[in-house]
């Protein structure tokens, strides 16, 4: 990571890097939560790989460096997860972003899914996940905002480099760029039979949220080293 990103007092996403404008929520966070002092470094990114150093000044930022561009990943890494009970899916989204996953897909209910949202709740839940993902990207100084989609069907994920996380799976990490994490009850026999591949996450039975984090860490360690 570029030291200017790592050492900045805060990191935010803006629409226009030529004239960065902070959202009211970002102003509140930098001013009231982080309590930045005038002159402290704030890095701004457009979420598409471009970023620059700015300086905090009262309720805004001033330019303090040229726009820099990071290369896009050659292979996009994705984790697809079935929602789990309580706020554990919030935790999963946050950690997947911090680990470095490029795309997160929230699965529509599978055969053994416990969590099944009412139709009028879907937009609200997905909006919360997006806010969590953005906050995690700011905290971890990412310059590419991860793409978060859902609810998506299992079949829509496609077959290329896709594997379902399942004990005894035979796929290798060099073959997998999308890992699918099932619900608490696991995948059904029918879902496993239709899977393009399966991949093993280790000798122990993992909670769904733990499996998502382990899968993300394994993929990032393989593809980004």
pLDDT of residue 139: 95
pLDDT at 222: 93
The tokens describing 130, both together, are 């997006």
The pLDDT, as a whole number, for residue 118 is 83
Cα Rg of the chain (Å, integer): 19
Residue 211: predicted pLDDT: 95
Which pLDDT does position 100 carry in this prediction?
95
Contact 182, 110 (CB under 8 A): yes
Amino acid 158: pLDDT: 80
- Note if the pTM is more than 0.85: yes
Long-range contacts of 61-65 (CB under 8 A, 24+ apart): 61/12, 61/20, 61/22, 63/20, 65/4
pLDDT tens digits, 47-99: 999 999 999 998 899 999 899 999 999 999 999 999 998 889 999 999 999 99
Sorted by where each starts, the structural domains of the chain and their CATH numbers stand as: 3-69 (2.40.240.20), 78-223 (3.40.1280.10)
pLDDT reported for residue 138: 96
**Strand residues in the chain grouped as ranges (E):** 10-13, 41-45, 50-57, 60-63, 68-69, 78-81, 103-107, 147-152, 162-165, 178-181, 198-199
Positions of the chain with pLDDT under 70: none
Residue 23: name the closest of 32, 34, 12, 33 by CA: 12
């Amino acid at each position: 990571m570029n030291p200017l990103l790592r050492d900045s007092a805060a990191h935010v996403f803006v629409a226009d890097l030529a004239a960065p404008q902070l959202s009211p929520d970002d102003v509140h966070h930098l001013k009231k939560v982080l309590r930045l002092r005038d002159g402290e470094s704030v890095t701004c990114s457009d979420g598409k790989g471009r970023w620059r150093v700015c300086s905090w000044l009262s309720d805004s930022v001033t330019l303090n460096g040229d726009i820099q561009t990071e290369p896009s990943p050659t292979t996009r890494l994705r984790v697809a997860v079935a929602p789990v009970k309580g706020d554990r899916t919030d935790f999963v989204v946050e950690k997947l972003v911090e680990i470095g996953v490029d795309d997160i897909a929230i699965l529509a209910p599978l055969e053994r899914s416990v969590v099944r949202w009412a139709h009028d709740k879907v937009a609200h839940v997905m909006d919360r996940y997006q806010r969590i993902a953005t906050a995690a990207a700011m905290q971890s100084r990412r310059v590419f905002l991860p793409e978060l989609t859902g609810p998506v069907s299992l079949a829509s994920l496609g077959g290329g480099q896709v594997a379902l996380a399942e004990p005894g799976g035979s796929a290798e990490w060099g073959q997998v760029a999308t890992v699918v994490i099932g619900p608490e009850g696991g995948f059904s026999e029918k879902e496993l039979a239709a899977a393009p591949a399966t991949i093993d996450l280790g000798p122990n039975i993992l909670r769904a949220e733990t499996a998502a984090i382990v899968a993300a860490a394994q993929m990032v360690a393989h593809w980004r080293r």
